[in-house]
Amino acid sequence: MLLNLLALHQSAQRTISTASRRQIENKVPEKQKLFQEDNGIPLHLKGGVAEALLFRATMTLTVGGIAYAVYQLAMASFPKKQD
C-alpha cells in the first residue's frame, strides 16, 4: 500500500512535456499563402473538395436543425385538443 502511494507521488511530481519528439513540418505558411491569395474563389472552397464537403455537411445540418427546432416549437405552441 505504501509503495503504491510512493509510486503515485513520484509519477505526480514528474513534469509533463509538451514538446513533440518527432519533428513535424510546419505547413502553416503554405496554407496562409493559399487562403490569402486573391483569386476570386470563396474562402470555404479554397481548401479543396474536403473543405467543400465539410462546408455543405455543416450547412445541411444547420438548416435541418433549425427546421426541426421550428417544428418542435410549433408542436409545443399548439397542444392537442382533448376530447
d(CA 46, CA 53): 12
Q: What is the mean pLDDT of residues 18-23?
A: 68
Q: Which range has the top average pLDDT, 4-8, 18-22, 27-31? A: 27-31
| Whether residue 61 has pLDDT greater than 80 | yes
Q: How confident is the model at residue 41 (pLDDT cuts 50, 70, 90)?
A: confident
Nearest Cα neighbor of 59 from 45, 72, 76, 48 is 45
Which residues touch 47 (CB under 8 Å, ≥6 apart)?
Answer: 34, 35
Within 1-83, residue ranges assigned H as helices are 2-13, 28-36, 49-77
Cell digits of residue 2 = 505504501
